[in-house]
Amino acid sequence: MEVWPKRIMDIWFTEKQSPNMKLSLRIKNILLNKTTEFQDILVVETEEYGKIMVLDGAIQITEKDEFCYHEMMAHIPICAHSHPRRVLIIGGGDGGVLRECLKHPFIEEAILVDIDSEVVQASRDYFPHVSSGMNDPRATILNMDALTFIREHKHEFDIVIVDSTDPVDFAAGLFQSPFYTDVFEALRSEGIMIAQTESPFAEASLLKQAYKEMEKVFPIVSLCWGAMPTYPTGFWTYTVGSKTVTPEEPRNPAPLDCKYYTSRIHSNSFVLPPFLEALIELK
Ligand code: SAM
């Protein structure tokens, strides 16, 4: 009699990162699969990266590598500023950037504006470590379109962090100069903004567009980069717009429990390889 091999679970999640590139992860468990008013949310447990959250087919966070991105997004602008007190996070409904901002004792208030309350709830339900900052009394969470919110707030924030989904549909405006003008006006006199600006290998034109649009508005614009394994190509960029201070040097110390960000990483992340300088036409 023929003996069949023991059945193993062999289910995979695949993110189509470009027409010619995919990332596949073997799944242990499907935890949440729903469609909200704004997007599809999928939470699955993977063998390689632990639990992951996927919005409209694109990986947003994984338990294993989220710190790389969240620490850079929060600590680069906060440590570059001489005395930041109020932070605005646009998007970022998973709470990872919020958690990092609140590691600084001098941050008095952090407001997170994500259009989709169900992303916030999914993070609370499945990613307690990532969403832990949501319970901090200094945190306020609002569910509305950040494009509307930012227009109604002038000279209120020291730091604005744009932690958005890819620039399509309701997130498209977050990569354009009218929005950066609103961010500029929402910032106080020494204000600094940072936005995730994609991979120079996967989305070179988007990165260049965001950088050039920010240059139309901010007197100082600077690009930095870091590792982010599960985002397309693993090479991620962040663009910083500043009203007065140069963002390359940290003025505040790194929180003690960082796993990616250090003061040396801060300065060194602004050192660009020549192909990146050429892309944003620095040289
Ligand atoms: N770090 C992630 C990445 O690059 O893949 C982004 C994480 S965070 C989950 C992105 C959030 O941006 C989503 O929860 C989405 O609802 C929110 N978002 C997109 N456009 C928005 C808008 N116009 N106003 C407020 N939130 C928005």
CA distance 140 to 66: 22
Per CATH, domain 66-279 is 1.10.287.1080: no
Q: Is 196 in the pocket of ligand 1 (CB under 6 A)?
A: yes
pLDDT higher than threshold 70 for residue 132: yes
Q: Which residues pair with 109 in a beta bridge?
A: 86
Tell me the whole-structure pTM to 2 decimals: 0.96
Q: Which of 65, 94, 114, 163 is catalytic?
A: 163
pLDDT band at 1 (very low <50, low <70, confident <90, very high): low
> What is the mean pLDDT of the segment spanning 119-137?
98
All CATH 3.40.50.150 domain ranges of the chain, comma separated, are 66-279
Give percent above pLDDT 90 in the chain: 90
Q: What would the mean pLDDT of 149-169 be, rounded to a whole number? A: 93
Q: Locate 214 and state its tokens.
A: 């920010």
**CA dist 134 → 61, 118, 214 (Å):** 16, 14, 29
Distances in Å between the Cα of 189 and the Cα atoms of 83, 85, 101, 192, 211 are 11, 13, 20, 9, 21
Q: What is the average pLDDT score of the chain?
A: 95
Question: 163 catalytic, yes or no?
Answer: yes
155-173: average pLDDT? 89
Q: Please report the pLDDT score of residue 5 as a whole number.
A: 57
| 183 pLDDT above the threshold of 80 | yes
Q: Ligand 1 centre and the CA of 264: distance in Å? A: 29
- The dihedral through the CA atoms of 206, 233, 40, 161 has a sign that is negative
Distance 262 CA to ligand 1 centre (A): 26
237 in Cβ contact with 199 (< 8 Å):
yes
Q: 146 CB less than 6 Å from ligand 1? A: yes
What is the CA(184)–ligand 1 centre distance, in A?
Answer: 20
Question: Which residues lie closer than 8 Å to 1 by C-beta, 6 or more apart?
Answer: none
Dihedral angle sign, alpha carbons of residues 222, 265, 277, 23: negative
CATH 2.30.140.10 spans which residues of the chain?
11-62
Per-residue pLDDT at 90 = 97
pLDDT band at 40 (very low <50, low <70, confident <90, very high): very high
Q: Rounded mean pLDDT of 208-236?
A: 97
Q: What is the predicted pLDDT for the residue at 7?
A: 58
- At 167 the pLDDT is 78
Residue 6 reports pLDDT greater than 80: no
How many whole angstroms from 4 Cα to the centroid of ligand 1? Answer: 46
- The fold for domain 11-62 equals Spermidine Synthase; Chain: A, domain 2 (2.30.140)
Q: Note the pLDDT of residue 262.
A: 98
**Which residue out of 130, 150, 164 has the highest number of ligand 1 atoms within 8 Å of its CB and is therefore the one to mutate?**
164
Q: Is any atom of ligand 1 closer than 6 Å to the C-beta of 171? A: yes
Average pLDDT for 255-271: 97
Does ligand 1 come within 6 angstroms of the Cβ of 60?
yes
Report residue 172's pLDDT band, with 50, 70 and 90 as the boundaries.
confident
